[in-house]
Chains A and B, each alone.
Chain A
Amino acid sequence: MSAPNPYERFEELDAGRALGDLSHEEVLEWNELAPKHKSGTSLDFDWISMELELKNSKPCSLSSSLVARLNDTIPAFTSNNSKKESSPMMVSIIPWLGWATAACLLVFFNLPFSDSPQPSPELTVTQKLEVLREAPDTQRLDFSPASDPYAKITGEVVWNDERQEGYMSLANLPVNDPSKNQYQLWIVDPERDELPVDGGVFDISAGSETAVIPIRNALQISKPDAFVITLEQPGGVVKSKQEVVVALAKS
């Protein structure tokens, strides 16, 4: 059998690059072949993939904390650019008046001052849950135990469709050994599919009375009907056999 044509091999690896599925060895191989074979047309794979994805993408609203973080990056770039582009002719007293006023206010209110933008404080998961709980259109459902060994479980799920953000607050869920099994959340969204959507795998460690778990929905959720926690093999499963159903929250 003859060795594969190097260009064809590169083409295959490059398609894998655009798909994001290169293995460790393939990345090294791509790096070796790229200098010889790579051209501007490599980006066609990225473009085709992106157009396919983009056409389907339902944009998800950003959380207010993320918008704040993104807005915080802006000053670093506006100031750099304005420094580059400013010319003596552009200098006016008006912007300086603005800065002077701001400086006075900072002194007056004793606010911290820094040249670099300050990142907004990162909220804890519990705080995020509290914020989401108060947001308009947030759905709240109580968890009920689904089988005897988990009869003491209490808690709720908080979910917001628009933000695609949600958290579970769970008490009395037994500690699991992640090397043997893990809890997995499933989101039942009949408008999307008859199969429940994976909401993420999580562990309960010793010492946590009430655990707050962020929901990591693998796919866009539109109108969840129920949230189900199952116990699965480590790493979770693609499709649950529902052998151990732990808890259920239903609208």
Chain B
Amino acid sequence: MHLRNFILFSNINSFCFALGIVEQGGGQNNVGDSLLLLVAKGDGQAMKRCIDLYGPLVWSIVCRRIKDRSDAEEACQDIFTEIWKKAGSYKPEIARETTFIGMIARRRSIDWQRKQSRLPLLTDLESAPEVSSSIPLAGTNLDRELLWNALEQLPEKTRDLFNLHFVKGMTHEEIANEKSLPLGTVKTRLRRGLIDARKLLREYSKKENTES
């Protein structure tokens, strides 16, 4: 049996385990919390610490998508330049620093791929405000807990695809081959899965707000 197929999600704990989740305590890093604020003030030492602390994370996100090493290095440099520029818009009360940096890294890596494939730019998104000021659901520990609860409610087939794509880092084509599914079906199911996850997350958030 392929290891890729062994994961069966029965509850949130096993799902988290399968995703390689180790709960990070409070989810906030005190050193990290202050870093972007210092970066925004032009503190060179804070920028160096930011590279040391978040460089490996950014690099792992970049390397998932950009296979050519020199391209990946260039993208990584672009991402840190953007982090320096956008640090002033970071709001610790809304998002974790890892979230802020991770979203910039992920989005820019996807943009890089898009440019390499000569796809048109997503013009509206390019001019959109940066992440921290517009993530209504993201960031707090409570929201993250809600996210995992919502993900647990997704059908097993969707969680399986999520596992292959997000956890194993497999491309749509690789998943299609692995699962013997048409490429279009993989694409549709992943998109539908995200939509359903967001829907569930909103329902959970509403419930949570009503109860409190």
User: What's the nearest-Cβ distance from chain B to residue A60, in Å?
Assistant: 5
A43-B138, A73-B77 as given contacts; A80 in contact with B42, CB under 8 Å: yes
Cβ–Cβ contact B57 & A71, under 8 A: no
Q: Judge whether B177 and A193 touch: CB under 8 Å.
A: no
Are B201 and A48 interface neighbours, CB within 8 A?
yes
Interchain CB contact (< 8 A) of B122 among A15, A17, A41, A65: A17
With both chains docked as a complex, state the minimum distance between the C-beta of B155 and any C-beta of chain A, in angstroms: 16
Contact call B194/A69, Cβ cutoff below 8 A: no
- The reply to whether A59 and B56 contact each other, CB–CB distance below 8 Å, is yes
- Write the nearest CB–CB distance from A179 to chain B, whole angstroms: 20
Given A15-B195, A43-B138: A55 touches B20 (CB 8 Å cut-off): yes
Q: In whole angstroms, how far apart are the Cα atoms of A216 and B187 in the complex?
A: 25
Q: Which residues in chain A, 1-57, are within 8 Å of chain B measured between CB atoms? A: 11-12, 15-24, 27-28, 30-31, 34-35, 38, 40-41, 43-57
Q: Are B41 and A85 in contact (CB under 8 A)?
A: yes
Tell me, in angstroms, the Cα distance from A22 to B191 when the chains sit together: 11
**A78 in contact with B43 given A48-B198, A70-B55 (CB within 8 Å):** yes
Query: Contact string, B1-17, partner A, CB cutoff 8 A, digits 1/0?
Result: 01110000000000010
User: A220 near B69 (CB under 8 angstroms)?
Assistant: no
Chain A neighbourhood of B172, CB < 8 A: 21
CB of B201 within 8 A of CB of A220, answer no
List the A side residues contacting B68 at CB < 8 Å: 216
Pairwise interchain contact A31-B106, C-beta atoms closer than 8 A: no
Q: Is B204 an interface residue (CB 8 A)?
A: no
Over the window 188-211 of chain B, the binary record of Cβ atoms lying under 8 Å from chain A Cβ atoms (1 yes, 0 no) is 001110110110010000000000
Q: Tell me if B41 and A81 are in contact (CB < 8 A).
A: yes
CA distance A115 to B169 in the complex (A): 42
Q: Does B131 contact A (CB under 8 A)?
A: yes
Q: Let me know if B26 is at the binding interface, CB within 8 A.
A: no
Q: In angstroms, how far is the closest chain B Cβ from the Cβ of A47?
A: 4
B108-158 CB contacts (< 8 Å) to partner A: 110, 113-114, 119-125, 128, 131, 134-138, 144, 147, 151
- Tell whether, in the assembled complex, residue B198 and residue A200 are in contact, meaning their CB atoms are under 8 Å apart: no
**Cross-chain contact A60 with B84 (CB below 8 angstroms):** no
For chain B residues 33-67, which have a beta carbon within 8 Å of chain A? 40-44, 47-48, 51, 55-57, 59-61, 63-65, 67
Could you say which of A31, A43, A59 contacts B131, with CB atoms under 8 Å apart? A43
Among A38, A52, A195, chain B packs the most CB atoms within 10 A around the CB of A52
A244 interface contact, C-beta 8 A:
no
- Complex CA gap A24/B40 in Å reads 36
Answer whether residue A206 sits at the interface, using C-beta atoms and an 8 A cutoff. Answer: no
Verify B177–A239 contact, CB threshold 8 A: yes
Cβ contact of B125, chosen from A12, A34, A70, A79, cutoff 8 A? A34
Rank and list the top 3 A-B pairs by shortest CB-CB distance, nearest first.
A81-B42, A59-B56, A40-B134
Contacts A23-B119, A27-B121, A195-B2 known; 18 new A-B pairs at CB < 8 A: A12-B192, A17-B125, A24-B120, A34-B122, A43-B103, A43-B138, A44-B137, A50-B106, A54-B98, A66-B73, A70-B76, A71-B51, A74-B44, A81-B42, A164-B63, A219-B168, A219-B169, A220-B60
Binding site for A on B (CB under 8 A): 2-4, 16, 19-21, 40-44, 47-48, 51, 55-57, 59-61, 63-65, 67-70, 73, 76-77, 80-81, 84-85, 98-99, 102-103, 106-107, 110, 113-114, 119-125, 128, 131, 134-138, 144, 147, 151, 162, 165-169, 172-174, 177-178, 187, 190-192, 194-195, 197-198, 201
